[in-house]
Amino acid sequence: MRIALSAPDISQEDIDAVAAVLRTSRLSLGPKLEEFEHAIARYTGAAHAVGVSSGTAGLHLCIRALGIGEGDEVIVPSFAFIAVANAVRYEKALPVFADIEPETLNLDPNRIEAAITSRTKAILVVHTFGCPADLAAILEIARQHHLCVIEDACEAIGAEFDGRKAGGWGDAGVFAFYPNKQITTGEGGMVITENPRIASMVRALRNQGRAETNDWLQHSEVGYNYRLAEMNCALGISQMKRIDAMLARRAEIAGKYHDKLRGIENLRLPALELPRRKLSWFVYVVRLSGTLTQFHRDWIMDEMHRRGIGCGRYFAPIHRQPAYHTACGPRADLRVTEFEAPRCLALPFFNRLQDEQIDEVCENLGELLQLAGSRAMEEPSANSAAGFY
């Protein structure tokens, strides 16, 4: 693609930081891991931060550390990256899907209680696209029903709800640092929590079940190799030094898109501001509106690709995935998810996106929307497009 969908922001200082680690004898479980964990803990205000190999690994270890297992149910959104459901299934528990709010695309607190059963153990709330969910309402529901809350903040480092950082409200929160995220470690994630027992368990489980008091060949738990290497941590430390500037740049780019695209027919833009929330821009996702549907969205995406402009379908609902036809709990009414998901289109979004590239994206999108809305674009029968998203 001439204009990529995403790209990491790597500076010379980042490269130097990684190279410096390679000149040492400690490439794993060394001082850079501890330094990176402390940096995340300071930034989020968390008592404990534990580095892991990915956001998915972090979610899995939170599920395990909270004692969620076979036959238990965890409420999750279907409009999310599939890792939120996979992490539940790793421990033979069942994801139970609840619907989302049409504005934020986050779990709708008004739909959570209907999904609660005697087997429900936790709510796994996702801060979709860097927009915090309604944490106050969700935590109150959890309190009333004695449920744990795990925050998937993998897309939301730096986001805030009521002045507090996302990820630090529930029993545990998870960040991810894949190359398309606000900051990157290449691969990597972080679990934060106020609970020392959860932190200790996650530390042991990420390192083959070795407790902090164990020697190298003594294992207190059946654990995993979910360690985060020193090179990744060095990159993360360097990136954290620039996080405020990088988040500000992403907000600036979102504002430029908004200015260029507002007023275009059949297009709904993401809100730049929402009450009680500070957004952390992970992606810039627009939604087709009016008479435009999934068929038009997919045609526009294909045409953008043909013109060398990266776009993405964010997200394909998890309950529509072949792996989840039978691997989930009771099927809820997911009408908002079903309506919004096939109309979502992610546009190119990364720190070094240039103004002329934004102009090109917007000009092409506007042209294609106009064509899609014309009589020349005839939508096929519903059955021919069903299941794509």
Q: Is residue 270 domain-shared with residue 139, that is, in the same domain?
A: no
| 223, 240, 257 - which closes a domain | 240
**Residue 6 located in a structural domain:** no
How far is Cα 57 from Cα 196, in angstroms, rounded to an integer? Answer: 19
Q: Is residue 211 domain-shared with residue 269, that is, in the same domain?
A: no
Query: How many domains, the chain?
Result: 2
CATH number at residue 364: 3.90.1150.10
Structure tokens of 126? 């996702």
pLDDT at 358 (0 to 100)? 98
Q: Find tokens 């096939």 and name the residue.
A: 342
Residue 369 near residue 267, CB atoms below 8 Å: yes
Torsion of CA 116, 120, 122, 124, to 10 degrees: -60
Q: What share of the chain is helix, strand, coil (3-state, %, to 5)?
A: 40, 15, 45
Q: Is residue 91 domain-shared with residue 139, that is, in the same domain?
A: yes
Give burial (CB, 10 Å; 0-12/13-18/19+) of 250: buried
Q: Find tokens 């020392």 and name the residue.
A: 196
Q: Nearest to residue 191, comparing CAs of 203, 204, 209, 178?
A: 203
CATH number at residue 118: 3.40.640.10
Backbone angles phi, psi at 74, to 5 degrees: -130, 125
Question: Is 181 a known active-site residue?
Answer: yes
Q: Is residue 285 domain-shared with residue 340, that is, in the same domain?
A: yes
**Residue 365 located in a structural domain:** yes
Range of the domain at 226: 12-98+106-240
Q: Is residue 45 domain-shared with residue 130, that is, in the same domain?
A: yes
**Residue 4 located in a structural domain:** no
| 240, 256, 281 - which closes a domain | 240
pLDDT at 327 (0 to 100)? 63
Q: Is residue 23 domain-shared with residue 133, that is, in the same domain?
A: yes
Residues of the chain with pLDDT under 50: 382-386, 388
Q: Is residue 86 domain-shared with residue 148, that is, in the same domain?
A: yes
pLDDT at 383 (0 to 100)? 40
Q: Is residue 272 domain-shared with residue 371, that is, in the same domain?
A: yes
Residue 6 near residue 349, CB atoms below 8 Å: yes
What's the per-residue H, E or C state across 123-171?
Answer: EEEECHHHCCCCHHHHHHHHHHHCCEEEEECCCCCCCEECCEECCCCCC
pLDDT at 325 (0 to 100)? 77
Catalytic residue among 32, 121, 165, 181: 181
**Residue 3 located in a structural domain:** no
pLDDT at 215 (0 to 100)? 80
